[in-house]
Amino acid sequence: MKTTDTPPADTTGERPPVTKTAPAPAPQEKATGRTLNVFSHGFLILWAFMVAMPLLWAVMTSFKTDKEIFSSPWSLPDSLHFDNWSRAWTSANMSDYFLNTIIVVGFSLLGTMLLGSMAAYVLARFEFPGNRFIYFLFIGGMSFPIILALVPLFYVMQNLSLLNTLPGLILVYIGYSLPFTVFFMTSFFRTLPTSVAEAAFVDGASHTRTFFQVMLPMAKPGLISITIFNFLGQWNQYLLPTVLNTEPENKVLTQGLVQLAVSQGYKGDWSGLFAGLVMAMLPVLAAYIVFQRQVVQGLTAGALK
């Protein structure tokens, strides 16, 4: 950032500070600001380019023929080969992978939110012996390496006949999503005023009813954030299904794609694989672009606590 001595490249369009409230900067400071601007745009554009290019390259490649992919990786496709997409969707089982993912994420998201906010509510609002212990038991799960537990878990699942089944995977997703959900929702419930719940209770509502009809609606902003967080985490999950769900017809999207990469490698159907990749990528990116603000809030909320 040592650009102080360089003369500014661009002097047009620069307005002097007009109001009196602004401190009049020294001319040298002004020059620094200008070169800094060029400099910072340069770096920011470079990184934006590096992030966007691989993604655009994948989209482009998914419309090419295999021959084009190998002979000219960076040129535009001669025509849009939509057959890559239909081939990936049907013969490469992408439709099944999507369906499995939707089932697993749907149920586990519901379960995580329900059980997670129930536990968090009790831990945040009620004094009882063991409260702290249970809270830290949940929190501790956030920093432990999951792979360590997966070795015995594999055999626990086998003994319960849950290995390679979708219900088994759903339960495991719930279990491993609980630590962060409980952590986040506990601190959220603590910020809510106690008077409303007390009033409801005085009016004769049971604890359970107070929770579902008064507290949960009040906790909506927190619930939205953590739902988005868990949705992306579970939708993109790779480690858990790779270990616990190896039955070919039960595979979820992420492992299905890796499977596809291996099998298409033998068949040489790279265009079909790229179509599958882009197919998996686009819905999430599209949803992100539409719900940008909520997604960013959901994912950064935990880090700012």
Partner 1 sequence: MQHGKYRFIVGFLTAPLAIYGLFVIWPFIQSIYYSFTDWSGLSPEFKMVGFKNYTRLWDDDVFWKSLQHSVMLVVLLPLVTLTLALFFAFMLNVGGRRRKNAAIAGVRGSAFYKVVYFFPQVLSIAIVALLFQFAYNPNSGAINSFLKAIGLDSLQPDWLGDPDLALWCIFAVLVWCTVGFFVVLFSAGMASIPKDYYEAALLDGANRITTFFKITLPLLWDTVQSGWAYVGILALGAESFAVVQIMTVGPGGPDYSTTVLPLYVYQKAFRDGQAAYATTIGVALLLVTLLFVAVVMKLGRRERLEY
Among 98, 103, 284, 294, binds partner 1 (CB under 8 A): 284
Q: Which residues contact 257 (CB under 8 A, 6 or more apart)?
A: 97, 273, 276, 277, 280
Nearest to 101 by CA among 302, 240, 265, 290: 240
Site for partner 1 in 30-59 (CB under 8 A): 30, 32-34, 36-37, 39-41, 43-44, 47-48, 50-55, 57-58
Minimum CB separation of residue 145 from partner 1 in Å reads 5
Q: Which stretch binds partner 1 (CB under 8 A): 82-90, 91-99, 169-177, 215-223?
A: 169-177
Please give the radius of gyration of the chain, using alpha carbons only, rounded to the nearest integer.
26
Residues in binding contact with partner 1, number by CB under 8 A:
112
CB 54 → partner 1: shortest distance, Å? 6
Q: Is 169 in the site for partner 1 (CB under 8 A)?
A: no
Selected from 7, 152, 193, 217, the binder of partner 1 by CB under 8 A is 152
Pick 48 or 80: Cβ nearer partner 1: 48
CA distance 173 to 240: 8
Residue pair 149/187 in contact by the 8 Å Cβ criterion: no
Residue 268 lies near partner 1 (rule: CB under 8 A): no
155 forms part of the interface with partner 1 (CB under 8 A):
yes
214-253: which residues touch partner 1 (CB under 8 A)? 232, 235-239, 242-243, 253
Give the one residue of 5, 7, 12, 22 binding partner 1; rule: CB under 8 A: 22
Per the document, the length of the chain is 305
Residue 17 DSSP class: P
Q: Interface residues for partner 1 in 76-105 (CB under 8 A)?
A: none
Q: Which is nearer to partner 1, 81 or 254 (CB)?
A: 254
Residue 239, classed as helix, strand or coil, is helix
Core vs surface per residue 257-269: b (16+ CB within 10 A) or e: bebbeeebeeeeb
Tell me if 205 contacts partner 1 by CB under 8 A.
Answer: no
Burial class (CB in 10 A: 0-12, 13-18, 19+), 65: middle
Report 104-143 residues binding partner 1 (CB under 8 A).
115-116, 118-119, 121-122, 126, 128, 134, 137-138, 141, 143
For residues 173 and 109, give the distance between their C-alpha atoms in angstroms, rounded to a whole number.
8
Asked if 266 touches partner 1 (CB under 8 A), the answer is: no
